[in-house]
């Protein structure tokens, strides 16, 4: 696979992941914000309401107690310290009373210093006061009420009402709201995930389909999702592949017609030229010159036409390989002998002398002929042919000792119509290597070029080994 394409694929995957992550994060943030703000508001309203309620109740309880205490002092039947125990009319509440700077408390351990100084001062001046305090590490409300007997004797009555059950209610509410925030955030994230999936899945399908099209599969159609927006994308995409398919089919038909229309007259011209050639002894010298020119040009025309037809067939994707399992070394030997090139060294370093590859013999011959004739034209011929093998492939190196192929040309040498500038003197279409590489690809292999150990260029033909033999 092309490394650029691989990069694109990875980039694609990253982008897709980011989209999803973004959606998840966005969902999470939105849900979190809404839930957090709502919860905070609920909590504050509830807290202030419940606290005020509690203060009001506590205040009325303490004031009732203070009136009872005042009545008892007025009656004068009960000493102050036992009075407080009796006035302790609601559970957990504690009271204290001061007469002439002496504090009497309802319960041992009531530390009067825990009552804030301000409210003590206020009540001493005759003003009722209250404050939310911490009493023995517990939350409580302290309420101070002045008691006046006969407009003369002043007492200060303090009631401390614990509010820990209010705190428990509030902290329970807090926990419930917090759990609500967490669950809605997770829910939001899930919604984001689900939404992104719903959107990205059809897009993912489209990109996958586009990749398959890039590799030449035009039969692909993507399933139409129900959402109108996404359906549009899918429909447009399917329409695009259909018209591409039609266009390629049209081009293939065009190619077939053109090649047939050109080949028929060329066959006649070739035959007629050959006929003339066979009668050259009976013709004047100038006529034989014409025959030679015709002969040469017709052959050149034929070669170019065949190359063009071949490349157009590859481009339209109508080529099918006729693969068979062939032993490579005997095949190369036969070709070398046929072309009187037995002097080219054939070095087989594969483990078995009959390494078998999947080969289309006709295309293999064309690759061989192309590489051999290129080496003849540009590098004084091949220096050696080397056979190697790997687990899954047989590799044939066509090495020469010529000037080699420069790095900047390596990348474009297989492009259609590419011709090295210094080689413009040699006749050729610049399609030979393109077709050879296509041939290699259609056989499931590849054709590459690197530097040869003999100093020149090395064209390496990779061929697939049959799977059960590799």
Min dist CB 372 to another protein, Å, is 14
Q: Answer for the pair 423, 405: CB distance below 8 angstroms, yes or no.
A: no
Binding to another protein by CB under 8 A, coded x per residue (else -) over 268-307, reads: xxxxx-xx--x-----------------------x-----
Among 61-69, 128-136, 226-234, 355-363, the segment contacting another protein (CB under 8 A): 355-363
Q: How far is the CB of 404 from another protein (least distance, A)?
A: 30
| Residue closer to another protein, measured from CB, 126 or 466 | 466
Beta-bridge partners for 396: 387, 461
**Site residue total, another protein (CB under 8 A):** 34
Stretch that binds another protein, among 173-181, 321-329, 371-379, 429-437 (CB under 8 A): 321-329
160 forms bridges with which residues in the sheet?
94, 142
Q: Which stretch binds another protein (CB under 8 A): 76-84, 152-160, 361-369, 379-387?
A: 361-369
Site residues for another protein, 371-410, by CB under 8 A, read: none
Q: Contact region for another protein (CB under 8 A) — 61-69, 125-133, 267-275, 371-379?
A: 267-275
Residue 263 sits in the site that holds another protein (CB under 8 A):
yes
Question: Which residue in 334, 386, 361, 325 sits closest to 439, CA to CA?
Answer: 361
Task: For residue 107, give the H/E element and its range.
Answer: none
> Considering the rule CB under 8 A, would residue 236 count as an interface residue with another protein?
no
In terms of CB distance, is 213 or 256 closer to another protein? 256
Helix (H) or strand (E) holding 155: strand 153-162
Q: Candidates 39-47, 255-263, 385-393, 454-462 — which segment interacts with another protein by CB under 8 A? A: 255-263
Across 100-126, b (16+ Cβ under 10 Å) vs e yields: eeeebbbeeebeeeebbeebbebbeee
Output 356 or 461, the one with its CB closest to another protein.
356
Query: Is 356 one of the binding residues for another protein (CB under 8 A)?
Result: yes
Contacting another protein (CB under 8 A), which of 267, 345, 390, 411? Answer: 267
Candidates 48, 322, 380, 411: give the one binding another protein (CB under 8 A). Answer: 322
d(CA 189, CA 176): 20
The secondary structure of residue 466, as a DSSP letter, is P
Q: Which is nearer to another protein, 241 or 259 (CB)?
A: 259
127, 138, 166, 344 from 55: Cα distances, Å: 17, 16, 11, 109
Give 233 or 298: the residue with its C-beta nearer to another protein. 298
Cβ(363)–Cβ(381) below 8 Å: no
Instruction: Establish if 231 lies at the interface with another protein (CB under 8 A).
Output: no
Residues in the chain: 470
Tally of CA atoms within 13 A in the half-sphere of 26 that contains its CB:
12
Work out how close the CB of 330 gets to another protein at its nearest, in angstroms, rounded to a whole number.
7
**Cβ-based nearer residue to another protein, 72 or 394:** 394
- Residue 427 lies near another protein (rule: CB under 8 A): no
326: left (phi over 0), alpha (psi -120 to 50) or beta: beta
Sheet holding 345-348, edge to edge: 345-348, 382-389, 393-400, 457-464, 446-451
To the nearest whole angstrom, how small is the minimum distance from the Cβ of residue 338 to another protein? 4
Q: How many Cβ atoms from other residues are within 10 Å of residue 167's Cβ? A: 18
Residue 414 · residue 448 · CB < 8 Å? no
> In the window 324-353, what residues touch another protein (CB under 8 A)?
324-327, 330-331, 334-335, 338
- Contact between 30 and another protein per CB under 8 A: no
User: What are the residues facing 135 on neighbouring strands?
Assistant: 138
Give the integer Cα–Cα distance in Å for 187 and 24: 10
DSSP 145: E
Alpha-carbon span 304 to 313, nearest angstrom = 14
Give the residues lining the site for another protein (CB under 8 A): 256, 259-260, 263-272, 274-275, 278, 302, 322, 324-327, 330-331, 334-335, 338, 354, 356, 361-362, 365, 466, 469
């Amino acid at each position: 696979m092309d490394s650029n394409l691989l990069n694109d694929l990875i980039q694609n995957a990253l982008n897709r992941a980011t989209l999803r992550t973004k959606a998840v994060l966005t969902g999470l943030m939105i849900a979190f914000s809404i839930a957090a703000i709502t919860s905070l508001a609920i909590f504050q309203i509830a807290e202030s309401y419940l606290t005020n309620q509690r203060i009001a109740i506590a205040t009325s309880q303490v004031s009732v107690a203070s009136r009872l205490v005042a009545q008892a002092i007025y009656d004068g039947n009960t000493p102050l310290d036992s009075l407080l125990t009796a006035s302790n009319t609601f559970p957990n509440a504690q009271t204290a009373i001061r007469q002439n700077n002496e504090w009497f408390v309802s319960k041992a351990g009531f530390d009067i210093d825990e009552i804030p100084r301000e409210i003590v001062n206020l009540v001493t001046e005759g003003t009722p006061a209250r404050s939310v305090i911490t009493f023995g590490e517990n939350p409580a409300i302290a309420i101070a009420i002045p008691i006046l007997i006969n407009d003369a004797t002043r007492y200060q009555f303090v009631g401390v009402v614990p509010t820990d059950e209010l705190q428990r209610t509030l902290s329970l509410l807090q926990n419930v709201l917090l759990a609500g925030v967490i669950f809605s955030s997770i829910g939001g994230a899930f919604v984001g995930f689900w939404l992104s999936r719903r959107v990205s899945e059809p897009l993912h399908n489209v990109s996958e389909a586009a990749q398959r099209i890039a590799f030449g599969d035009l039969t692909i159609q993507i399933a139409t999702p129900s959402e109108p927006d996404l359906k549009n994308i899918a429909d447009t995409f399917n329409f695009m592949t259909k018209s591409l398919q039609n266009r390629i089919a049209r081009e293939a038909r065009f190619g077939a017609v053109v090649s047939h229309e050109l080949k028929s007259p060329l066959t006649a011209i070739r035959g007629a030229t050959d006929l003339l050639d066979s009668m050259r002894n009976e013709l004047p010298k100038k006529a034989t010159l014409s025959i030679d020119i015709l002969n040469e040009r017709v052959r050149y025309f034929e070669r170019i036409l065949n190359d063009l037809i071949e490349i157009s067939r590859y481009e339209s994707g109508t080529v099918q390989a006729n693969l068979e399992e062939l032993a490579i070394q005997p095949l190369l030997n036969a070709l070398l002998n046929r072309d009187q090139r037995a002097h080219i060294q054939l070095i087989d370093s594969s483990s078995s002398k009959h390494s078998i590859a999947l080969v289309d013999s006709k295309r293999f011959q064309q690759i061989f002929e192309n590489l051999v004739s290129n080496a003849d034209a540009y590098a004084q011929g091949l220096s050696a042919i080397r056979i190697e093998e790997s687990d899954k492939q047989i590799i044939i190196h066509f090495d020469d000792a010529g000037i080699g192929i420069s790095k900047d040309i390596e990348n474009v040498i297989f492009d259609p119509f590419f011709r090295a500038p210094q080689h413009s003197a040699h006749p050729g279409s610049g399609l030979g290597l393109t077709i050879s590489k296509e041939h290699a690809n259609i056989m499931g292999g590849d054709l590459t070029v690197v530097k040869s150990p003999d100093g020149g260029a090395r064209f390496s033909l990779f061929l697939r080994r049959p799977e059960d033999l590799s």
